[in-house]
Amino acid sequence: MIKLYDSEFKVMEVLWKKGPQYAKDISLILMDEIGWSKNTTYTILNKLINKSYILREEPQFKCIPLITRQQVQTCALEDIKNKMFGGSPSILLSSLLNLENLSMAELDYMQLLLDKSKEKRENDK
């Protein structure tokens, strides 16, 4: 199970958007975007390396992401489904569909995804 704290997510966001980066460059980006010091960024980078979410390559401390945004999203959603919705995907989906601010376009897109998922399941039988 992949688990990222908010600070770790901010570092990963840089890597997902820009691809492999040198630690120094990540530090400069996060200093500019959110005001972090170099030490803060390096501390979080080292935590991510220890968790095996980032590969450190030498020379010059190049950081390569080892996890994808999709993997993190899937794990987070699985965690929310289990904690908040008793493990039920249908209750989770029902809660999403009951949000008042969903546009017709979003509802149509969700219906398209449901139809595709159903078709895939039927074809897998």
**pLDDT of 65 over the 90 cut:** yes
Residue 97: pLDDT band with limits 50, 70, 90: confident
- Is-contact 29 14, C-beta < 8 A? yes
Which whole-number Å values give the CA distances from 78 to 3, 67, 97, in the listed order?
11, 16, 18
| Cis bond before residue 59 (omega within 30° of 0) | yes
**pLDDT of 99 over the 90 cut:** no
- Pseudo-torsion of CA 22, 24, 30, 35, nearest 10°? 170
Strand partners, 69: none
Paired tokens of 20: 């492999």
**The residue to which tokens 């999203």 are assigned:** 73
